[in-house]
Structure 1
Amino acid sequence: MDTTAAPASDLFPPLERASPDAPGDDELLALLALVDAGGATASRRALLEATGSAAAALALGPLGWREARLTDAQQARLRRPDAARLDAHRAWLDTPGRRLVGWCDPDYPPQLKRSPSPPLALFVVGEPARLWHPTVAVIGSRAATPAGRENAARFADAFARAGFAVGSGLAAGIDAAAHRAALDRGALTIAVLGTGPDVAYPPGNRDLHARIATEGVLVSEHPPGTGPRREHFPSRNRILAGLSLGVVVIEAAERSGALITARLAAEAGREVFALPGSIHNPLARGCHRLIRDGATLVETHSEVTAALANPALELASNLRGRLATPIQHHGVAGLSSSAAARPEGLEGSVWDAIGDDPVGIDTLALRTGLTPAALSSMLLAMELDGRIVTQHGRYYRVR
């Protein structure tokens, strides 16, 4: 029996890389094959950690896969990959602004990596470095009351003004209200999907899905074309919890996906907050249950941002390590800021390129000669420092 696997490049015809910062074609194909193998992720993550790359993991062949405790079904999928399916995924990723961020990718969000059962890889629409941004998840019922939607929008707008990204699951009700409020503020919103990154669900959120794809970040562990499946939404919730520093539950029934997300957030060591409500509102019972179980009762957004100040500083330190530049200050409201000072080194060149007028990342790339991915990481660090702000995809100096 042949116990070796053909390199990923032998399975498909050559394809140009989507961008200078995208993984090489052989690595991308190998990672897609590992994702497509399906099943539990723990053994595949361990395989990647042991080998250091998806291409090396694929090259081990059946003997190595068996030693890594991949199931028979996973090994069968790796031996006989669905070439047409993987080629379609690769073609989707060839469009600028789309990335597959694998477990070994330096852009894999560190806070997600430290959470229980993190995904093997993330399909991302938008800049992956923005997933490092300090994020507050705002979640709740799909059948929210008007007051609940107003509270979601009010809290999300306040978090955006304080410098946090707003995360949610792009569901109807509370999720949609939170996403829209962040977008209307010109701030970052991150939507974690239970479908493929190209599938808008529910269909009524199609326009919101498209807007987030342009102005925020869409993220999913499922390949393009994956439709809604009941079992995908609880697993979606663990990613949202893992990406966030804290979770705010606005309205929730006693049995709801929001409570699952809150439980997963607590298990991941994240802060859980809940808004109290009327004893006559069935959508307040889930929040009251969370409070009885130890969640923090909150009435204002400042109670949340104050509690998350230290985790936000830790995340900024992680980003500085990623960029190999010294940690200075942090731009989240309530923390110290070095607003108007020109940074040194390469960030100083980016500061000069921004100039006095708002500018988009494509123009900055032309002015600096840097790739959009490299620029995005530096811009995020400068935003965390409080030196710049971003609104509607354009960057401004803080004066």
Structure 2
Amino acid sequence: MLKYWLWMAELPGLTNQVRLALLRHFGTPENAFYADAGEILLTEGITKEQAEALDNKSLAAAGKILEDCRRLGLRVLTFQDAEYPNRLRNIYDPPFLLYVRGRLPAIDEEPVITVVGTRRCTPYGETCGEKLGYGLARGGAVVVSGMARGVDAAATRGALRGGGVPIGVLGCGLDVVYPPEHRYLYEDVAAAGALVSEYPPGTEPDKSHFPVRNRIMAGLAAGTVVVEAPLRSGALITGNTALEQGRDLFAVPGPIDAPASAGCNRILRDGGIIVTEPRDVLDHYAGRFPDKLRLEEAREEPETLGYQARRERAEAPRAVPPSLSLSGSGLTDDQIALLRALAGEPRLVDDLIEETGIPARRVLSALTLLELDGRIAQHAGKRYTRVVTLTE
């Protein structure tokens, strides 16, 4: 029964290796729950202190977690469940159980690619992350990220725009939004794909959680792409973990004098696979997943401008803003709402989503079209301004 899995998962002092050793010895957590102390000590690798932890037979914590999961619409996936991915089961230190919100695809049958990078990304890194997320999703890949600021968020937005099935792996409970400005991004990922965590509901983020989470991000995927990362970066930890797990490691090259790309350039120097477009990743798996990949669709989004062109247009001076009459303009309701919201200082996408109440995918689509038409401009940090004056 699930309550015994949660009981064992929450016992202090037990590592995943010890929990799995107990599972091998007793067959189920329920059998371990009812075992006597002498039999528990026969478990391979268990210490006396760890065995004593199993003397705690209270199921109160497990019951609360079950109640929280039902209230929040979460599923618990245990190590023995058929849906638990073999790809993850076979790594060193696999999670004992996972909490899932949304629909987790059949991981073992899918070309899953993890995309990671620094939280403090440059405009170049953000553009590359979104372009890769979009192209990978269009090409049939499942895109995994850590849902962090920077490259992770950009790749996730791109995957959503590409109609993909994104997976976000969290270092906190699934009911805790971190960073808080990603609330709408969380909702969209849960609707289109899945949010995953090994931490129960209510668990706040902690810096110790994120390196541990990285093994799940790498373990779900056939390969990991590092988009932009300095030499000391959590993204490099994920990349190294992928190599330790026997997975492919890709990297996006950057300028040789750019600190933000130093980690990626080192990966490439040490034999990593270079990525300059989504096809570079997907071609690597064409023979392995011939029925899943749509290589001809993994191209740069036609309406997406390159970083340099976007920057030049955003920075181009305008002496007098042109006037735009909303009456008979042919604009959609979403575009009109966004234009009205873009009065004044540059606005973040998440701010626009919150103010207008328009879902993230529609906001991103409308912003792209408005930018192409020259009615808004994008600035560093994915901020937008209106470059026209409105008349009704």
Q: Kindly report which structure 2 residues correspond to 1:310-325, keeping only aligned pairs within 5 A, or say none.
A: 310-311=287-288, 313=289
2:89 maps to which residue? 113
Determine whether 1:36 maps to 2:10.
Answer: yes
SS at match of 2:191: helix
1:147 maps to which residue? 124
Q: Write the deviation string for residues 304-325 of structure 1: whole angstroms up to 9, x where unpaired.
A: 11112345x4xxxxxxxxxxxx
1:190 offset after TM fit, Å? 0.4
1:95 offset after TM fit, Å? 4.3
Which of these two proteins has the greater Rg computed from alpha carbons?
2
Whole-angstrom CA distance in 2 between matches of 1:285 and 1:303: 20
Whether the 8 Å contact between 2:279 and 2:295 is mirrored in structure 1 is no
2:102 maps to which residue? 126
Determine whether 1:93 maps to 2:69.
Answer: yes
Q: Given residue 230 of structure 1, which amino acid in structure 2 is its aligned partner? A: K
Whether the 8 Å contact between 1:291 and 1:297 is mirrored in structure 2 is yes
Whether the 8 Å contact between 2:72 and 2:175 is mirrored in structure 1 is no
1:146 offset after TM fit, Å? 1.2
Give me the identity figure in percent.
Answer: 37
* Residue of 48, 51, 56 corresponding to 2:31: 56
Q: Given residue 208 of structure 2, which amino acid in structure 1 is its aligned partner? A: E
2:350 maps to which residue? none
TM-score of the superposed pair, with normalisation by structure 1? 0.69
1:76 offset after TM fit, Å? 4.0
Whole-angstrom CA distance in 2 between matches of 1:90 and 1:74: 24
1:180 maps to which residue? 157
SS at match of 1:167: strand
Q: Kindly report which structure 2 residues correspond to 1:339-378, keeping only aligned pairs within 5 A, or say none.
A: none
RMSD: 2.2
2:234 maps to which residue? 257
Whole-angstrom CA distance in 1 between matches of 2:38 and 2:179: 43
Give the unaligned 5+ runs of structure 1. Answer: 1-26, 314-328, 336-390, 393-399
- CA distance 1:88–1:73, change in 2 (3 Å): farther
SS at match of 1:179: helix
2:256 maps to which residue? 279
Whole-angstrom CA distance in 2 between matches of 1:74 and 1:286: 39
Q: Kindly report which structure 2 residues correspond to 1:210-225, keeping only aligned pairs within 5 A, or say none.
A: 210-225=187-202
Q: Write the deviation string for residues 54-102 of structure 1: whole angstroms up to 9, x where unpaired.
A: 2223232323322214344544443225544322211122248421111
Q: Given residue 30 of structure 1, which amino acid in structure 2 is its aligned partner? A: Y
Whole-angstrom CA distance in 2 between matches of 1:131 and 1:89: 26
* Residue of 255, 278, 281 corresponding to 1:301: 278
Determine whether 1:199 maps to 2:176.
Answer: yes
Whole-angstrom CA distance in 2 between matches of 1:107 and 1:64: 30
Whether the 8 Å contact between 1:141 and 1:174 is mirrored in structure 2 is yes
SS at match of 1:94: helix
- CA distance 1:75–1:127, change in 2 (3 Å): farther
Determine whether 1:104 maps to 2:80.
Answer: yes
1:292 offset after TM fit, Å? 1.7
Whether the 8 Å contact between 2:137 and 2:162 is mirrored in structure 1 is yes
SS at match of 1:79: coil
- CA distance 1:74–1:186, change in 2 (3 Å): farther
1:218 offset after TM fit, Å? 0.7
Determine whether 1:156 maps to 2:133.
Answer: yes
- CA distance 1:131–1:254, change in 2 (3 Å): same
- CA distance 1:72–1:209, change in 2 (3 Å): farther
Determine whether 1:331 maps to 2:306.
Answer: no
Whether the 8 Å contact between 1:246 and 1:308 is mirrored in structure 2 is no
Q: Given residue 146 of structure 1, which amino acid in structure 2 is its aligned partner? A: P
Whole-angstrom CA distance in 1 between matches of 2:169 and 2:268: 25
1:228 maps to which residue? 205
Q: Write the deviation string for residues 106-145 of structure 1: whole angstroms up to 9, x where unpaired.
A: 1111111111211111111123444443211111010111
1:171 maps to which residue? 148
1:23 maps to which residue? none
Whole-angstrom CA distance in 1 between matches of 2:197 and 2:217: 10
SS at match of 1:188: coil
Give the unaligned 5+ runs of structure 2. Answer: 297-360, 363-392
- CA distance 1:78–1:211, change in 2 (3 Å): farther
Whether the 8 Å contact between 1:200 and 1:209 is mirrored in structure 2 is yes
Whole-angstrom CA distance in 2 between matches of 1:225 and 1:148: 32
Whether the 8 Å contact between 1:48 and 1:104 is mirrored in structure 2 is no
Whether the 8 Å contact between 2:243 and 2:249 is mirrored in structure 1 is yes
Count of aligned pairs: 295
Q: Given residue 94 of structure 2, which amino acid in structure 1 is its aligned partner? A: P
Q: Given residue 223 of structure 1, which amino acid in structure 2 is its aligned partner? A: P
Whole-angstrom CA distance in 2 between matches of 1:293 and 1:51: 44
Determine whether 1:66 maps to 2:27.
Answer: no
Q: Which stretch shifts more, 268-277 or 183-192?
A: 183-192
Q: Which stretch shifts more, 269-278 or 293-302?
A: 293-302
Whole-angstrom CA distance in 1 between matches of 2:105 and 2:23: 21
1:152 offset after TM fit, Å? 0.6
